Amino acid sequence: MKITDRESDVIRLLGQGMTNKQIGLQLGISHYTVRDHISSMLKKLNMNSRVELAILVLRSETYRPSEAEGAEPT
């Protein structure tokens, strides 16, 4: 199954260490909806925890924390 654009937004913010409430505020959605998106991604990716999702983001070539925060790449 494919990850939706909204799930991608959620996982990107999750990788930045945000809580469900913080993600919800950032995206303008309920923290319950964030929880549902995370649960959906866990099932789709056959993972057991949000930590695994965060690790996936951090290992991804498409996510670079220094760029996301506006810092100079190292």
- pLDDT value for 43: 94
- pTM, full prediction: 0.75
The CATH fold assigned to 5-63 is Arc Repressor Mutant, subunit A (1.10.10)
Spatial neighbors of 4 by CB under 8 A, at least 6 apart, are none
Q: How high is the pLDDT of residue 62? A: 55
Q: Domain ranges in the chain?
A: 5-63
Residue 52 has pLDDT above 70, yes or no: yes
Sequence-distant (6+) residues with CB within 8 A of 46 are: none
pLDDT at 54: 85
